[in-house]
Amino acid sequence: MWDYSEKVKQHFLQPQHVGEIENPDLDATVGNIVCGDALRLMVRLDDQGRIRDAKFQTFGCASAIASSDALIELIRGKTIEEAEHITNDDIAAYLDGLPEAKMHCSVMGMEALQKAIARFRHQPFEDEDQGQVVCRCFGVTDKLIEKVVRAEGLETVEQVTHWTKAGGGCGGCHEKIQEIIDRVRAEAGPAPRGEAPAPSGMTNLQRIRRIEQAIEEEIRPVLHRDGGDVELVDVVDRQVQVTLSGTCAHCGVRGVTLRDLVEQRLRAKVDPDITVEGVAAHAAAE
């Protein structure tokens, strides 16, 4: 059984934004109802160009429905320019995390939003219009795989499947997916001058500095939105100790926050072998 957070359960069992908008200003459908999850996103703008209302229709699992509902919570009241910066990580963080195997549901929400904005601007949607289908079982293109591999720092075919569903059917595309992973990693090249080297050659001091940067730029802002915070306690090789504070300190899903937000972002931004352990505030003080 999937270890869903209370927020995922809430947005699945009692979604607030299911429905249809007649003649929406923005409208996009992603996925394929024949072979997997599908999502239609409809948006109405106000006179100032802000998102006044949005509705969704989703065919999929609990994570797909919850991610769709969460997406609308995140975009309401924003301008298109503000909304286009919302990522799948923001959706997952809003839900207090998703199981790794269900991260593709948050990606589907991000894709629907980006496609709707591209259509509104009369621009091609790169992932669909310019990409070539790699996974025919789920209709996933090379452009989407490349984008997610680059954004999330994915390194294995299994991770790509978790984030996009590509490769989760017959498996015939695994070789092509691995080629995309290898190409993206090769294009990234060595770290720019002045930055820490690749994880395999990173000193512990360099690792600590990158962990501190990731916490400050990638993790703390997400927790602040819900009144929480995180502090770095110690780093021993690849084991990171942190303490959660604010609303996160006594939250019933703090384990999910540690695993699906803190640990996943540190793995993506710093080192894929990092593990995160939560320690109590009094232990940190000692």
pLDDT in tens, 214-241: 899 889 988 888 788 999 999 988 899 9
The contacts of residue 68 (CB under 8 Å, 6+ apart) are 15, 17, 39, 41, 56, 58, 108, 109, 112
138 alpha-carbon distance from chain centroid: 19
Catalytic position from the list 105, 137, 248, 251: 105
Q: CB count, 10 Å around CB of 59?
A: 15
> Of how many residues is the chain composed?
286
- Of residues 120, 119, 140, 116, the one with CA closest to residue 128: 140
| Residues 114, 30 share a domain | yes
pLDDT at 194: 41
| Residues 37, 64 share a domain | yes
**Which tokens sit at 280?**
């109590």
Q: Last residue of some domain: 143, 160, 188?
A: 188
Positive or negative, the CA dihedral 94, 221, 190, 268 is negative
| Structural domain contains residue 14 | yes
| Residues 206, 143 share a domain | no
- Of residues 218, 181, 213, the one with CA closest to residue 196: 213
Cα 232 from Cα 52, distance rounded (Å) = 39
Cα 55 from Cα 68, distance rounded (Å) = 9
| Structural domain contains residue 97 | yes
Residue 173 is which amino acid?
C
Cα 208 from Cα 60, distance rounded (Å) = 40
| Residues 170, 153 share a domain | yes
| Structural domain contains residue 145 | yes
What are the residue ranges in the chain where pLDDT is below 70?
A: 1-2, 34-35, 126-129, 189-203, 281-286
C-beta separation of 242 from 232 below 8 A: yes
Cα 21 from Cα 155, distance rounded (Å) = 40
pLDDT at 200: 46
**CATH number of the domain bearing residue 142:** 1.10.10.1100
- Could you tell me how many helices (H) and strands (E) the chain has, helices first? 13, 8
Q: CB count, 10 Å around CB of 234?
A: 12
**Which tokens sit at 128?**
């669909």
Q: What share of the chain is helix, strand, coil (3-state, %, to 5)?
A: 50, 20, 35
CA angle 261/253/151 to nearest 5° reads 15
pLDDT at 179: 94
- How many structural domains does the chain have? 3
Domain of 150 in residue numbering reads as 131-188
| Residues 266, 182 share a domain | no
Spell out a b/e string for 220-233, using b for 16 or more CB atoms within 10 Å of the CB, else e: eebbeebebbbebb
Give yes or no: 137 in active site.
no
State the maximum Cα–Cα separation within the chain, in Å, rounded to a whole number. Answer: 60
| Residues 281, 255 share a domain | yes
Instruction: Please tell me the pTM assigned to this model.
Output: 0.63
Give yes or no: 105 in active site.
yes
